[in-house]
Amino acid sequence: MSKRIDSTPRQDGFRMPGEHEPQAAVWMAWPERTDNWRFGGKPAQSTFVKVAQAISQSTPVNMVVSAQQFENARQMLPDNVRLIEMSTDDSWMRDIGPSYVVDNQGHRRGVDWHFNAWGGLVDGLYFPWDKDDAVAQKVCEFHGDASYRAPIVLEGGSIHVDGEGTLYTTEECLLHPSRNPDLSKEEIEQVLYDYLAVEKVVWIPNGLYNDETNGHVDNLIHVVRPGEVVLTWCEDKNDPQYDISRRALDVLETQTDAKGRRIKVHKLPMPGPLFISENEASGVDVSEGMERTPGERLAGSYANYLVTNDQIVYPLLDEKLDSEVEDLLNDLYPGYKITGVDAREILLGGGNIHCITQQVPCA
d(CA 273, CA 240): 11
- Residues 6 or more apart in contact with residue 317 via CB below 8 angstroms: 271, 272, 274, 300, 301, 302, 343, 344, 347
Looking at residue 270, the DSSP 8-state letter turns out to be: P
Element (H, E) at 254: helix 240-254
d(CA 20, CA 43): 30
Looking at residue 21, the DSSP 8-state letter turns out to be: S
Max CA separation in the chain (angstroms):
56
DSSP 288-299: SS----TTPEE-
- Type of residue at 187: E
- Type of residue at 252: L
d(CA 252, CA 172): 16
* 234 is an active site residue: no
**CA angle, corner 89, sides to 88 and 93, nearest 5?**
65
Q: Of 140, 234, 355, 362, which residue is the catalytic one?
A: 355
CA distances to 167, 306, 324, 325, 354 from 18, in Å: 10, 12, 25, 22, 14
Cβ(90)–Cβ(126) below 8 Å? yes
- Report the length, in residues, of the chain: 363
Q: In terms of C-beta density within 10 A (0-12 exposed, 13-18 middle, 19 or more buried), how is residue 306 classed?
A: buried
d(CA 362, CA 201): 25
**CA angle, corner 157, sides to 104 and 111, nearest 5?**
40
Element (H, E) at 280: helix 278-282
Which residues are known to be catalytic?
Answer: 355
